[in-house]
Amino acid sequence: MKKNAVVIVGAGSTHTPGIIQSLLQKKDEFPLRKLALFDIDEKRLHLVYDIMKQFINETYPGLEVVVTTNEEEAYTDIDFVFAQIRQGGLKLRSSDEKIPLKYGVVGQETCGPGGSISYGMRSIPAIIHIIKMAKKYSPNCWILNYSNPAAVVAEATRREFNNERILNICDMPTAILLSYSKMLGLDSWQSLDPCYFGLNHFGWFTALYDKEGKDRLPELREMILTSGMTACSDKHHKDKDWQKTWKQYAEIVKDYPDFLPNSYLQYYLYSSEMVAKMDINRTRADMVIEGREQEMFAEHKKYLESPESYKSPLQEFTVFGDFIVDAASSIAYNKGERFLVIVENNGAIPNMPADAMVEVPAYIRSWGPEPVSIPAIPTFHKGMMENQLASEKLAVDAYFENSYDKALQAIAINKTVPSTTVARKILDDLIEANGDYWPTLK
């Protein structure tokens, strides 16, 4: 079995220990020959490595490990790039959330003017740079990209690279599948074969087949309608704040019982109620800073107290880590496993544009994803998707054309935004907050 060289880009992230843990636990399915950790923030990079190195050494004695802020070193002799960067860090996530809220508009990491347009225009140049470097030093590598906002990023990488050996992915549909399988008493998310269509963070499950070929969606819908979401995914997706999402999830199913939604639709279908529940002085970014990030710093403190005897923490598994390693393994060994991924439509959803980046099931082969084609989608879902797609495409236009007008259109057309006057105010604040992270808009 050939072995793989992986670089994690954005390795200083709080999500990296989960990815490393999955890489180590899946040693038989996806053996490593080298692990590189790369970040532009040297301190954070070493902090994560300090926490994980005992576990790495124990699982893979003698493995080549590279911990670096140098691009050439990071990307040379690599088979798989796992990109999961947050351009501008949690600080700019916080402004993405707070600026729209100031004007009564949804302030969310990946949705609305902050999450989709502001974060999108910040991420695009960073991702393009990473992919160029990766292709320069390892021309045959595969790039698996988690970096958000994945819908906008995927559209940009389509335009720039035709998504050649690039796979854009997101853990949310899989995390939701995990909740479903728990509710149905099944042992893993792989127990259900999902039928699904949408854009990233904007889609619907239409069927869920179990190993005996039975569609369990009707049964699950009844369970949700009577008792709500009684199980919620993995550790990441069950803290106090995420619980609110699962509560709202049942409301979406009550109003739209035909399919089962991606939880992110709450921000588009109940925008004003979501705004009413948000606190401009304490958004999700603050909770992540106080929660997940602090936990990681506390862990590192333990390491510093006794580096010699420190044992890496074994966490509850994360969908985020397992999914990316499974996808890479399916590419590396031509397994053809079925996953929900972001691909160019090309007829998969027959009544959506061919050049839309959509999220659908695909069989993951060595030469890339082979998407499944589905029947034409209903008017309601199509209308919702076309609106959101226009906003995402306009954000990418705004970036490539340095266009203020396109950025304004991207925000104004977004379903979360009530008027052009508000869109303009938000855009002007975002320009200031993003500074050099954004191109100069003309």
Establish whether 171 is a catalytic residue.
yes
DSSP code of 436?
G
The response to whether 282 counts as a known ligand-binding position is: no
Task: Report the residue number, 175 or 328, with the smaller CB distance to ligand G6P.
Answer: 175
Give start and end residues of each alpha helix (H) in 103-165: 112, 119-137, 150-161
Least distance in angstroms from the C-beta of 200 to Mn ion: 6
The response to whether 338 counts as a known ligand-binding position is: no
Our finding on whether 206 is near ligand G6P (CB under 6 A) is no
The span from the CA of 206 to the CA of 408, in Å, is 34
Residue with tokens 């588009």: 268
Our finding on whether 406 is near ligand G6P (CB under 6 A) is no
Residue number with the smallest Cβ distance to Mn ion: 170
> 10 Å Cβ neighbour count for 137?
17
Task: Report the residue number, 260 or 412, with the smaller CB distance to ligand G6P.
Answer: 260
Establish whether 270 is a catalytic residue.
no
Catalytic residue among 49, 75, 196, 264: 264
Q: Of residues 109, 234, 322, 359, which one binds ligand G6P by CB under 6 A?
A: 109
Q: Which does 284 bind (CB under 5 to 8 A by kind): Mn ion, ligand G6P, none?
A: ligand G6P
The span from the CA of 52 to the CA of 37, in Å, is 11
In which element (H, E) is residue 19 found? Answer: helix 16-25
Among the listed residues 8, 127, 147, the one whose alpha carbon sits nearest the alpha carbon of residue 78: 8
Three-state DSSP class for 198? strand
CA atoms in the 13 A half-sphere facing the CB of 236: 19
Least distance in angstroms from the C-beta of 172 to ligand G6P: 3
Task: Report the residue number, 288 or 349, with the smaller CB distance to ligand G6P.
Answer: 288
Least distance in angstroms from the C-beta of 353 to ligand G6P: 24
Three-state DSSP class for 300? helix
In the region spanning residues 10 to 69, those forming contacts with ligand G6P, defined by CB under 6 A, are none
Least distance in angstroms from the C-beta of 110 to Mn ion: 7
Task: Report the residue number, 23 or 169, with the smaller CB distance to ligand G6P.
Answer: 169
Q: Of residues 99, 172, 340, 343, which one binds Mn ion by CB under 5 A?
A: 172
Our finding on whether 172 is near ligand G6P (CB under 6 A) is yes
Q: Write the DSSP string, 210-226.
A: -TTS-B-HHHHHHHHHH
The span from the CA of 324 to the CA of 337, in Å, is 12
In the region spanning residues 412 to 441, those forming contacts with ligand G6P, defined by CB under 6 A, are none
Least distance in angstroms from the C-beta of 171 to Mn ion: 6
Least distance in angstroms from the C-beta of 175 to ligand G6P: 6
- Lateral strand order in the sheet of 202-209: 193-199, 202-209, 260-261
In the region spanning residues 265 to 324, those forming contacts with ligand G6P, defined by CB under 6 A, are 284, 288
Are 262 and 176 in contact by the 8 Å Cβ rule? The answer is: yes
Cα–Cα distances in angstroms (integers) from residue 167 to residues 20, 133, 289, 344, 364, in the given order: 19, 16, 29, 10, 10
Q: Which does 165 bind (CB under 5 to 8 A by kind): Mn ion, ligand G6P, none?
A: none
Residue 23, burial from CB neighbour count under 10 angstroms (0-12, 13-18, 19+): buried
The response to whether 201 counts as a known ligand-binding position is: yes
The residue ranges of DSSP E strands in 156-249, in sequence order, are 166-168, 193-199, 202-209
Our finding on whether 74 is near Mn ion (CB under 5 A) is no
Our finding on whether 98 is near ligand G6P (CB under 6 A) is no
The response to whether 170 counts as a known ligand-binding position is: yes
Our finding on whether 170 is near Mn ion (CB under 5 A) is yes
Among the listed residues 1, 13, 166, 136, the one whose alpha carbon sits nearest the alpha carbon of residue 72: 136
Catalytically active residues are: 171, 264
What residues are designated binding site for substrate? 93, 148, 284
What residues are designated binding site for Mn(2+)? 170, 201
Binding region for Mn ion (CB under 5 A): 170, 172
Binding region for ligand G6P (CB under 6 A): 109-110, 148, 170-172, 175, 284, 288
